[in-house]
Structure 1
Amino acid sequence: MSNWNVDFLQKDPVHKDCKRALIILNQPFSRGLFHRLWNSTQLHYCADGGSNRLYDTLNDSPTREQYLPDLIKGDLDSIRSDVRAYYELKGVRVVQDHDQNSTDLMKCIRTLQDLEETEGSKQYDIILLGGLSGRLDQTIHTLSYLHKLRKTRRHVYAVTDDNIGWVLDEGTHDIAIDHDVLGQTCGLLPVGIDSTKLSTSGLKWNLNEDISSFDGLVSTSNHLVPGQDVRISTTRPIWWTVELKCCD
């Protein structure tokens, strides 16, 4: 049994024993969502061009100085020269990694894994700001990479202003639904597998050992039930997505 919640999306962050790392990707985001995620995480990385997004979103200098990332890393083909100069002047570590067999996101997570080994403590939960919008090839990379990370990471989430998603590995999952921050529409997506058998509770249209595949049933545009949490059982890993309400 795996347990999931999205308390890091609350306006007043909930600080629990778990440690969280925010990785900012090169996609647009609102200030409201950014502030919620930054304030609920202890570690903050920018994947290359994600630093441009951070710099431009915080478009006044005093505010920028309050939100300095711990690291900017990638092949650095996207970061603007003015953004790099600003963060280096503020003492932010900017690391160029020329490995062409890994993306900027993968480079950041490798650094996080090295830190975890050094600290000798439990894993950080990872929250990606971006990754599910923009260029299709980049979105597919997010879907693929998180599918692979399920084997080594407990909790990895991808968040945009429109929705949040993560991979549920085979087994049963209890998902605490915060109806104040999550919208009603949700989906179960059989990405990267041939098929899976799904059973659910807490959805308007529940599944009962139904087979889901790209060639058959795909549960999109399902709805959460007000006041209820969700339980999902799956025989293969799947993507779970839920829309977000506006974060001010």
Structure 2
Amino acid sequence: MEVVHHHSAFLLPPAPAGHRTSLSYALVVLNQRLPRFAPLLWQHANLRLCADGGANRVFDEMPALFPDEEADVIRNRYKPDVIKGDMDSIRSEVMDFYIKLGTKVVDESHDQDTTDLHKCVSFIRDFTSDLDKSRLCILVAGALGGRFDHEIGNINVLCRFKNMRIILISDDCLIHLLPEGKSHEIHILPSVVGPHCGLIPIGMPSKSTTTTGLQWNINGAEMHFGGLISTSNIAKEDIVTVHSDSDLLWTISIKKPQDRLQIVIWDPNDGSENKENLHILITYLPIFPVVGTAISRIFHHGEEDCHSDEPNSPHNNGILVVDSHG
């Protein structure tokens, strides 16, 4: 049976070349509030699309994540490659701004049978070669929260494109599809996600679902609405395995900064700390590029020397950001 591996590495700063995941990311921004880690998702993506009014969100809200920089500097830096949709939400001045920067605008106002997310996923599918589709993962920012009918429409896109990796993301959680008939291994990064999670049958009842790695595992049980579904579960292991005879939605919480961060004052020359046991957390640092660069280097290389050549790096002052639960 095919084993499918699922990761949340996109919530960590990109690894240096040669250490990166085999996945290739595309980002779709919808017309909901940007998650606080939107710059990090942007950094991971090779292709960035705004679904109609998602362009307003990037234009208005991305500068607020960089309060020490000029708004237009940020707007020029975070320029979408494509804006696509029925164009009933994007403001004219936002469209004009990005067109002048070279963004491609695809007006599909004639198509009222599909959502803007569906239109963007279709564009990415057609844009990507068959060779690369097996490595493609689409991150959808602003997919959850707001109107419930919009959320259901976004979940329906997961089912319409069930052979593509698509992850719906908000500030609070992520959701993706676990297609039936495969063995799924979900690799938990406890510094950034969990522990709260759920497995929900979608489209049809599951006659048999089996899991490992959860506080309340399922052992061949049937799941359906009106009966058993697994919500408010807890991820207990670093790997959660799932096998089901029908499609399931997997959801897991994304930790807030106050749940994840603490500052440790550490003298690298003191020798009192075991550096190998420091689980360095770097997910909230795209807003602070110098810090993120310095800590990412250590996280991905496991360097013994914590000194950084970045002039304002906290490592030169012996400050590390680490997992508060580690």
Q: Tell me, which stretches of 5 or more residues in structure 1 are unaligned?
A: none
Q: Return the alpha-carbon distance in structure 2 between the equivalents of residues 63 and 196 of structure 1.
A: 50
Which residue does the alignment assign to 2:113? 101
Q: 3-state DSSP class of the match of 2:131?
A: coil
Tell which structure's C-alpha radius of gyration is larger: 2
Q: CA deviation at 1:88?
A: 1.2
Which residue does the alignment assign to 1:88? 99
Q: Is the 8 A contact 1:22 1:128 kept in 2?
A: yes
Q: CA deviation at 1:130?
A: 2.0
The alignment yields a C-alpha RMSD, in angstroms, of 1.4
Q: CA deviation at 1:195?
A: 3.1
**Match for residue 191 of structure 1 among 202, 208, 212:** 202
Q: Return the alpha-carbon distance in structure 2 between the equivalents of residues 195 and 245 of structure 1.
A: 29
Q: Is the 8 A contact 2:205 2:222 kept in 1?
A: no
Q: Which moved more, 1:19-28 or 1:105-114?
A: 105-114
Q: Return the alpha-carbon distance in structure 1 between the equivalents of residues 207 and 132 of structure 2.
A: 31
| 2:231 is equivalent to residue 215 of structure 1 | no
Which residue does the alignment assign to 1:28? 33
Q: Return the alpha-carbon distance in structure 2 between the equivalents of residues 95 and 145 of structure 1.
A: 19
Query: How many residues were matched structurally?
Result: 241
Q: CA deviation at 1:115?
A: 1.2
Q: 3-state DSSP class of the match of 1:28?
A: coil
Q: Is the 8 A contact 2:117 2:157 kept in 1?
A: no
Percent of residue pairs identical: 36
| 2:130 is equivalent to residue 114 of structure 1 | no
Q: Return the alpha-carbon distance in structure 2 between the equivalents of residues 25 and 178 of structure 1.
A: 25
Q: Return the alpha-carbon distance in structure 1 between the equivalents of residues 106 and 202 of structure 2.
A: 33
Q: Is the 8 A contact 2:51 2:83 kept in 1?
A: yes
**Match for residue 161 of structure 1 among 158, 168, 171:** 171
Q: Return the alpha-carbon distance in structure 1 between the equivalents of residues 218 and 21 of structure 2.
A: 33
Which residue does the alignment assign to 1:51? 55
Q: Return the alpha-carbon distance in structure 2 between the equivalents of residues 121 and 195 of structure 1.
A: 32
Which residue does the alignment assign to 2:144? 132
Q: Return the alpha-carbon distance in structure 1 between the equivalents of residues 119 and 160 of structure 2.
A: 15
Which residue does the alignment assign to 1:13? 14
Q: Return the alpha-carbon distance in structure 2 between the equivalents of residues 196 and 76 of structure 1.
A: 42
Matched letter for residue 109 of structure 1: V
Q: 3-state DSSP class of the match of 1:42?
A: strand
Matched letter for residue 250 of structure 2: W
Q: Is the 8 A contact 2:201 2:223 kept in 1?
A: yes
Q: Return the alpha-carbon distance in structure 2 between the equivalents of residues 6 and 134 of structure 1.
A: 24
- Normalising by structure 1, we get a TM-score of 0.93
| Deviation sequence 1:89-146 (CA, Å, 0-9, x none) | 21111111121122111111221122124xx531121111122221111111111120
| 2:41 is equivalent to residue 40 of structure 1 | no
Matched letter for residue 176 of structure 2: W
Q: 3-state DSSP class of the match of 2:189?
A: coil
- Normalising by structure 2, we get a TM-score of 0.71
Matched letter for residue 113 of structure 2: N
Which residue does the alignment assign to 2:5? 3
| Deviation sequence 1:53-96 (CA, Å, 0-9, x none) | 11111231111111111100111000011211111121111111
Q: Return the alpha-carbon distance in structure 1 between the equivalents of residues 254 and 191 of structure 2.
A: 9
Q: Return the alpha-carbon distance in structure 1 between the equivalents of residues 150 and 235 of structure 2.
A: 28
Which residue does the alignment assign to 2:161? 149
Q: CA deviation at 1:2?
A: 1.1
Q: 3-state DSSP class of the match of 1:121?
A: helix
Q: Is the 8 A contact 1:143 1:191 kept in 2?
A: no
Structure 1 runs (4+) deviating above 4 angstroms are none
**Match for residue 244 of structure 2 among 221, 230, 234:** 234
Which residue does the alignment assign to 2:314? none
Matched letter for residue 93 of structure 1: K
| 2:78 is equivalent to residue 67 of structure 1 | yes
Q: Is the 8 A contact 1:186 1:224 kept in 2?
A: yes
Higher relative CO (CA 8 A, sep ≥ 6), structure 1 or 2? 1
Q: CA deviation at 1:228?
A: 2.3
Matched letter for residue 53 of structure 1: R
